[in-house]
Amino acid sequence: MIKVGIIGANGYLGVELIRILSVHPEVKLSKIFQREMEIDEEFPHLQSLNLKDLQTSNLDDFKNLDCVFLSLPHGSAHEYVKELLSKVKIIDLSSDFRISNQEDYNKYYKTNFDAEIQSKFQYGFIEKSIDDIKKSSNISNPGCFALTAQLSLLPFQTIIKEVSITAITGSSGGGKNPSMKNHHSTRSKDIFSYNINSHRHLGEIYQSFPNLKESLSFVPLSGPFSRGIYLTSHIETIEDTTYESLNSSLVDCFKSSPFIRIQNNTKLSNVVGSNYCDISLSFKDNRHLVVEACLDNLVKGASGNAVECMNIIFDLDQTLGLEQMIPLYL
In the predicted structure, residue 204 carries a pLDDT above the cut 70:
yes
In the predicted structure, residue 200 carries a pLDDT above the cut 80:
yes
- What are the residues whose beta carbons fall under 8 Å from the beta carbon of 96, sequence distance 6 or more? 74, 75, 76, 77, 78, 81, 111, 140
**Average pLDDT of the chain, as a whole number:** 93
Could you give the CA distance from residue 40 to residue 212 in angstroms, rounded to a whole number?
A: 45
Q: State the pLDDT confidence band at 180, using cuts at 50, 70 and 90.
A: low
pLDDT at 189: 80
Could you give the CA distance from residue 7 to residue 137 in angstroms, rounded to a whole number?
A: 17
Q: State the pLDDT confidence band at 176, using cuts at 50, 70 and 90.
A: low
Average pLDDT over residues 170-174: 82
Number of Cβ within a 10 Å radius of residue 22: 14
- What are the residues whose beta carbons fall under 8 Å from the beta carbon of 240, sequence distance 6 or more? 286, 287
Does domain 2-141+299-313 sit in CATH 3.40.50.720? yes
Q: Among 144, 253, 277, 294, which one carries the catalytic annotation?
A: 144
pLDDT at 55: 93
Average pLDDT over residues 17-31: 97
In the predicted structure, residue 184 carries a pLDDT above the cut 90:
no
Q: Are 17 and 36 in contact (CB under 8 A)?
A: no
pLDDT at 40: 80
201 compared with 189, residue with greater pLDDT: 201
Exposure string for 262-299, b = 16+ CB within 10 A, e = fewer? bbeebebebbbbbbbbbbbbeeeeeeebebbbbbbbbb
In the predicted structure, residue 272 carries a pLDDT above the cut 90:
yes
In the predicted structure, residue 251 carries a pLDDT above the cut 90:
yes
210: DSSP letter: G
* Rg (the chain; Cα; Å): 19
pLDDT at 50: 87
Look up 294 and say whether it is catalytic: no
Exposure string for 23-51, b = 16+ CB within 10 A, e = fewer? ebeebebbbbbbbeeebbeebeebeebeb
Average pLDDT over residues 76-87: 94
Q: Name the pTM for this structure.
A: 0.95
Average pLDDT over residues 261-290: 97
Q: Are 30 and 3 in contact (CB under 8 A)?
A: yes
Parts of the chain belonging to CATH 3.40.50.720: 2-141+299-313
- Architecture, CATH, for domain 145-295: 2-Layer Sandwich (3.30)
| Sign of the dihedral defined by the CA atoms of residues 183, 111, 209, 307, in that order | negative
In the predicted structure, residue 177 carries a pLDDT above the cut 70:
no
In the predicted structure, residue 100 carries a pLDDT above the cut 80:
yes
Parts of the chain belonging to CATH 3.30.360.10: 145-295
Say if strands 192-193 and 216-222 run parallel, antiparallel, or are unpaired: antiparallel
